[in-house]
Structure 1
């Protein structure tokens, strides 16, 4: 008996949701995906990447080879924790269907997009045979986690074996309200930092014997927040800095703390690179520290340290007319909607793919991602499958 061809996205998604693949656990999701792809003629490899201080992560690279353009579909099977399982209407890994909705962790972010793409490829092969070109799937188990042993290393690994790609679609949930609303053609960059201001601990009743670091920290934060970094560009929102934490580690109300810290994150547009923005932030803080004092009458300027956290994500914009145009046409043909071309939202694994080929993002409606009762409309799964299928037909025509 020949293996079943996975043409139904609802069945595909149910299988994937039932795999409890909370980052960094594989949970059976990549095994299930391999079983879907093998009957279609894909060769599948499952490299595991490691780095000190981070969990090992299993990834999947699958390729259906042919002569012609090479299309990559990218995504992740790992999911965020379920939270309070008792608060779910249906068990988070049961893939229950009720009132036209399928419930489950990962339903929209982003096992649903993977399920639809596999179904679209299966329908394409069933109708047209193998494409005049190649299709590959770059699937990680590390997108919702540190994102260190995932897509970035998987692409390096594949490229070292001679792989190259002409275009990529990332199946993240991009639509705010309805399928066809939004196609993402770029992303803002992201950098995070931690400011530490050193002071001198003392009694709150004897401030002349201490140096309160909170005064200095307030001056530094004001320098970062008071003046906008830019007014935005034609393709991007204004650069935005948010202070995400302020702490002195001091439970006592009558003690001046020894130090104060503040964490921040910046989402930036193409006015900047990560490097030029980091320099601007440091310059603002240097100027503020030089003119600020711990207390009136003190001569010493504020002393601070700035540590950059994690790895910066660079801003990017995809200007590939064929990729953007054909996918937009497919969306319009199936849904009747003309998608907004957007660069909004956070970061995604597209930030790695942009270094190898043009990349866009299009997937399901993302209203319930990461929430209790994450769910997707069953009808949307069929619609997204038809959009991907239409695109495959046009891309390989």
Structure 2
């Protein structure tokens, strides 16, 4: 049986499992059984409701990690789908189902590629590892973030990390992520005094008080970006206040906002500038911050060279290197000193109704990942 049919069957098996974050729904048990049969050492790390799988083959440096997740976002109303979201279906040369692109195909391709590599290179240099979590689409607290804390405690190094997130834009390998912006969120509560709208002198409207400050924050040019990252983005995502009655001045206003920032700004600097603005406007406020990840960048080097060469060899194209998009679990791996690159299928349908992956692209994925593994591990053979 070919590796291509193996990746199709494994992807389909994973799609059938309703692994809405953080529920793994048995996906990792399937992966662990296969990898154990291939000679991998299996460790299951469960924190809270989250399953994490750490599978390794070989020993020593370099340590090459394939990183993915088995959890998916909710499907939404099943009736909105052309076929049931958790039943794989083939139409027009595509495989449909929740997770088909993000990222059960990537996880399946990584496992098939790893199986094939250790079969052909049983005495390969270094360590080949697979790390899979069920907490990427959710809070990302007990997934890779928590695993990395354990790795720090153990002194577990990682040299190279290939993340199987759907990075491609129009064709497999046309774009790779070589870094990601940091993400800093704020939960702001502006306190006022509740009262009757007919007696504003007896109340203090937090919406009116906050509006000038929020307008200033929204209009601020935080930085100019740099050669690797665009300028910092500030977005207000939620505003809420009031009792539901039209004749009551609210006692508090809640504002949720987010920064996406590169290396031209720091999280500490952004926090200080926001708090200075709020204080200067005389607001009575409480502000809680959540830094979900610092920006990271993998410069040209061994992993980028290997990925670019593999894409050229397997896909006959030169990939564009980008730091755009949202965040990924690579943000937790990079601080370990690892080179991190994201390479995966086309992302046009992710998180959407009728999510899908092109069948030819699915079949090419394990070959592409296998080429990257070989270029990183075999080139370091003494």
Show CA shifts across 1:230-262 (max 9, x none).
122111111111111111123222222222221
Show CA shifts across 1:355-380 (max 9, x none).
22121111111111111111111110
Rg larger for: 1
What SS does the corresponding residue of 1:307 show, helix, strand or coil?
strand
Match of 1:220 in 2: 213
CA contact (8 A) 1:108 1:368 kept: yes
Mean alpha-carbon deviation: is it higher for 119-128 or for 322-331? 119-128
Match of 2:107 in 1: 114
Show CA shifts across 1:269-325 (max 9, x none).
1112212211121122222x14xxxxxxxxxxx3222222x4431111112511111
Unaligned runs of at least 5 residues, structure 1: 51-55, 291-301
Match of 1:340 in 2: 320
Match of 1:377 in 2: 358
CA contact (8 A) 1:5 1:40 kept: no
Match of 1:368 in 2: 349
What SS does the corresponding residue of 2:335 show, helix, strand or coil?
coil
Distance 1:77 1:265 in 2: 26
What SS does the corresponding residue of 1:352 show, helix, strand or coil?
helix
Unaligned runs of at least 5 residues, structure 2: none
Match of 2:372 in 1: 391
The change in CA–CA distance for 1:161 and 1:304 in structure 2 (over 3 A counts) is closer
Show CA shifts across 1:165-196 (max 9, x none).
21111111111221122111111111111222
Query: Among 330, 335, 342, which residue is 2:310 paired with?
Result: 330
Show CA shifts across 1:25-49 (max 9, x none).
1211001111221221111111211
1:49-198 mapped onto 2 (5 Å cutoff): 49-50=47-48, 56-198=49-191
CA contact (8 A) 1:167 1:359 kept: yes
Show CA shifts across 1:140-183 (max 9, x none).
11111111111122233244344322111111111122112211
Distance 1:340 1:157 in 2: 34
Match of 1:294 in 2: none
* TM-score normalised per structure 1: 0.90
> How far off is 1:110 after superposition?
0.9
* TM-score normalised per structure 2: 0.93
1:193-208 mapped onto 2 (5 Å cutoff): 193-208=186-201
CA contact (8 A) 1:20 1:28 kept: no
CA contact (8 A) 2:224 2:264 kept: no
Distance 1:112 1:236 in 2: 29
Query: Among 288, 293, 298, which residue is 1:307 paired with?
Result: 288
Query: Among 5, 10, 16, which residue is 2:8 paired with?
Result: 10
Distance 1:163 1:303 in 2: 46
Query: Among 225, 230, 233, which residue is 1:232 paired with?
Result: 225
Distance 1:396 1:202 in 2: 68
Distance 2:330 2:140 in 1: 12
CA contact (8 A) 1:65 1:135 kept: yes
Distance 1:196 1:162 in 2: 40
Give me the CA root mean square deviation: 2.0
Distance 1:392 1:213 in 2: 56
> How many correspondences in the alignment?
377
The change in CA–CA distance for 1:227 and 1:157 in structure 2 (over 3 A counts) is closer
CA contact (8 A) 1:188 1:267 kept: yes
The change in CA–CA distance for 1:263 and 1:271 in structure 2 (over 3 A counts) is same
What SS does the corresponding residue of 1:312 show, helix, strand or coil?
strand
Mean alpha-carbon deviation: is it higher for 169-178 or for 154-163? 154-163
